[in-house]
């Protein structure tokens, strides 16, 4: 970890790696909607918003990402033109509708984490914690007093990471009709005071 750097943004040379990493982490949840894999990665590569991303880089390799959401954008921006380019008119229409079922509004009271992922061979080695510390520092810089995220109920490893880093569960949201589509029964909102 001595060579680990947390950087603001996402360097252009890491865009495809970032899309692959994002899909590894979130594909199991989004696969039924965003698949097939090659189209999903292509869409994500074009839709990642570098200005809403923190990158973990080690030895010239992208090893982790943490995105955030603001009123100006999100980690992966799902604009209509990018969706049509990747999936065609019909494919984009139903995918935008399905993804809209997942979208959380920006939180005006708390800074919103919009996804955190670490390459599989480096999980459990402190990269997630380094990204959390950096995103908390970003939130403080933006004058937030708390930071929030939502984690799916089945992702116990992520939930334990967040708990170790000062987050507490404050609410469980049943997935309802989206459970069959996305493969989880609920999400848990977690908050950390800063």
Q: Is pLDDT at 72 greater than 90 in this prediction?
A: no
112-152 pLDDT per residue, tens = 999 999 999 999 999 999 999 999 999 999 999 999 999 99
Q: What is the pLDDT of residue 98?
A: 85
Q: What is the pLDDT of residue 104?
A: 62
Domains of the chain: 4-144 (3.40.630.30)
Q: What is the pLDDT of residue 105?
A: 65
Query: Model confidence at 100, in pLDDT bands (50, 70, 90)?
Result: confident
In this prediction, residues 155-172 reach a mean pLDDT of 94
Percent of the chain with pLDDT over 70: 96
In this prediction, residues 164-182 reach a mean pLDDT of 88
- Among 33, 48, 52, 119, which residue's Cα sits nearest to residue 79? 48
Mean pLDDT, the chain, as a whole number?
A: 91
Query: Model confidence at 71, in pLDDT bands (50, 70, 90)?
Result: confident
Q: Is pLDDT at 78 greater than 80 in this prediction?
A: no
């Amino acid at each position: 970890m001595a060579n680990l750097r947390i950087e603001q943004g996402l360097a252009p040379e890491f865009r495809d790696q970032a899309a692959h990493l994002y899909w590894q982490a979130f594909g199991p949840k989004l696969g039924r909607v965003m698949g097939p894999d090659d189209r999903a990665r292509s869409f994500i590569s074009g839709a990642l918003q570098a200005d809403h991303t923190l990158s973990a880089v080690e030895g010239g390799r992208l090893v982790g990402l943490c995105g955030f959401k603001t009123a100006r954008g999100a980690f992966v921006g799902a604009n209509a033109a990018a969706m049509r380019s990747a999936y065609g008119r019909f494919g984009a229409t139903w995918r935008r509708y399905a993804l809209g079922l997942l979208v959380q509004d920006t939180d005006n009271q708390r800074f919103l984490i919009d996804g955190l992922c670490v390459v599989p061979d480096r999980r459990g080695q402190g990269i997630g914690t380094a990204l959390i510390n950096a995103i908390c520092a970003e939130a403080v810089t933006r004058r937030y007093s708390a930071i929030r995220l939502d984690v799916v109920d089945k992702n116990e490893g992520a939930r334990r990471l967040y708990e170790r880093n000062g987050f507490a569960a404050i609410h469980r949201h049943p997935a309802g009709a989206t459970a069959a589509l996305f493969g989880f029964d609920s999400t848990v909102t977690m908050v950390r005071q800063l």
